[in-house]
Each structure stands twice: as C-alpha cells, then as structure tokens.
Amino acid sequence: MATQQRSSRTFTISFPPDLAEQVERLAAQESRTTSELFREAFRTYRAERARAIFADLHAKANRDGIPDFSEEDIERSVHEIRTERRATKA
C-alpha cells in the first residue's frame, strides 16, 4: 500500500497568553484560521526582508559608485548566476 505524503508541515510555536488572545481574536475577526494568519505573516515578513536587503544593496552600490540598478536587474543577475551554477554542476 502506497503512503501519501503530506502537502504541508506542522510547526509548534508558543506565545504569551495576551499575545495568543490577540492572534485568536484577529483570526476570528478576519474569518481565518491561525494557520492562514501565520502563513500570511511569514509571506509579508519575507517580502519586507527582501525589500530591506534590496535597499541595503542599493545604498551600498551608491556609496561604492556603482551605477544605479533596478530590482529587475538584480533578479536577472540572480537568474543568470543560478543558470551558470546549474550548468557547471551538470
């Protein structure tokens, strides 16, 4: 008999009671589960972190006299580097 893989993983986290109540209250107000609330919180954190890293890189480039670049430039460069690395591994 084949076993079915789970499509998600479970994490256990703890909060002080007052913060836990806020989480539960917000989830109820928005008609969402706490899992949905935390998934969105993580996606938001990850996006904000990426923006902060981009801003830091941009500031460093300006300090170092590197010509201005866009987020698209960075994405293109990352894609090129990953493609080159995959090619050398093959």
Rounded (to 5) percent helix, strand, coil in the chain: 70, 0, 30
Using N-to-C axis directions, what is the helix angle for 71-89 and 34-63, rounded to 10°?
100
Per-residue confidence in pLDDT tens, the chain, 90 aa: 566 777 889 999 999 999 999 999 999 999 999 999 999 999 999 888 888 877 877 777 777 777 777 778 777 777 777 888 888 876
CA distances from 74 to 25, 43, 48, 60, 82 (A): 40, 20, 16, 14, 12
How far is residue 81's CA from residue 61's CA, in Å, rounded to a whole number?
19
Q: Answer positive or negative: Cα dihedral of 38, 40, 46, 49.
A: negative
